[in-house]
Amino acid sequence: MRNAIPFFLLLVFPLFLSAQDWKSVAASDPMLTGLKSTLAGMSSIKGDIRQEKSFAFLTDKLVSTGVFLYQKESKLRWEFKEPIEYIILINENTMRLKEEGVEKKYKGMNQILRQVKEIILGCIDGSIMGNANYKTVFSTDGKSIRIQLQPKEKNLKEFIQQIDVEFMKQGSILKKVTLTDPSGDMTDIHFSNVQSNQKINAALFADF
């Protein structure tokens, strides 16, 4: 039993350290106001995406890869190339979907798509930080800024349990978004090669 206690502490201590890595930050902290103002100054953002969906009952993860392009205001091209071709095109108030070369009509799925649109755009341009539909907690580990959002409304809670958005402190670059389903399953979206304020061909938001 005496031998078991140090072994137990050895196991638990790294978790304790990891939990302490993130320190909460007040909404009025200059770090956050700086992040908001940098994001507000970005006219365009583009980069690569790698989405990893974990299933609680599977050993395998579902990995999707592609690119995203964002242009102020509210123009987004979210394109998965693998394992299937899947494009979401948002151009202000319109939203279109294409899967493996075919444009899809999503009658009856509008509520889900509206939420998807609000979450993706909100994470990229940072507007989700001020979204009154979510209870928000800010934290930092020194290198990154993390925003944890939990929906307040019942219909949103049925759709998502929590959203974690991480930005690099240096340059306010979007690093990772984690979506936690009501079932507890998690989807991690990793962003890489992120570039801001680059010229993007407007036609890429107009059509597939």
Partner 1 sequence: MRLFLLIFSLLATSVQAQAPGQDVEILARGKEAIYKAEFNVTGTSINGFLAVQHKRNDVLHVEFTSPMGNNLLEIEWKRGKWKKIYATKKLSGKLIFNMMTEDILLLFAHYQYDNGFEDFGDEWKWNKKTMLPSFDEGKLTSVKIIGRRHHPSKTVKYKRGEDCIDELSIDHQGFPFSIVLEPLKKK
Q: What does the binding site for partner 1 look like in residue numbers (CB under 8 A)?
A: 51, 53, 55, 57-60, 62, 64, 80, 83-84, 86, 88, 99, 104-109, 111-112, 116, 159-160, 179, 181-183, 185, 187, 189
Rank residues 54 and 127 by Cβ distance to partner 1 and give the closer one.
54
**Closest distance to partner 1 from the beta carbon of 145 (Å):** 23
Strand, helix or coil at 189? Answer: strand
Helix or strand holding residue 164 (H, E): strand 162-168
In the complex, minimum distance from the CB of residue 150 to partner 1, in angstroms, rounded to a whole number: 16
Tell which residue, 188, 145, 182, has the closest CA to residue 162. Answer: 182
* Residue that the structure tokens 């948002």 belong to: 90
How near is the Cβ of 162 to partner 1 at its closest, in Å? 12
Q: What is the C-alpha separation between 78 and 39, in angstroms, rounded?
A: 19
Residue 9 or 112: which CB sits closer to partner 1? 112
In whole angstroms, give the CA distance from residue 104 to residue 102.
6
Q: How far is the CB of 191 from partner 1 (least distance, A)?
A: 15
Choice between 63 and 202, CB closer to partner 1:
63
| 53 vs 169 by CB, closer to partner 1 | 53
First-to-last alpha carbon distance for the chain, in angstroms, is 64
The rounded distance, in Å, linking the Cα atoms of 52 and 197 is 27
> CA–CA separation, 86 vs 64, rounded Å?
10
Which residue lies nearer to partner 1 by CB, 122 or 140? 122
Q: Which residue has the tokens 């790294």?
A: 14
Least Cα distance to 120 among 168, 82, 174, 64 occurs for: 174
Nearest distance from residue 116's CB to partner 1, in Å? 5
For residue 62, the minimal CB distance to partner 1 (Å) is 6
Which residue in this structure is represented by tokens 């095109």? 89
Query: What's the Rg (C-alpha) of the chain?
Result: 19
Between 30 and 108, name the residue whose CB sits nearer to partner 1: 108
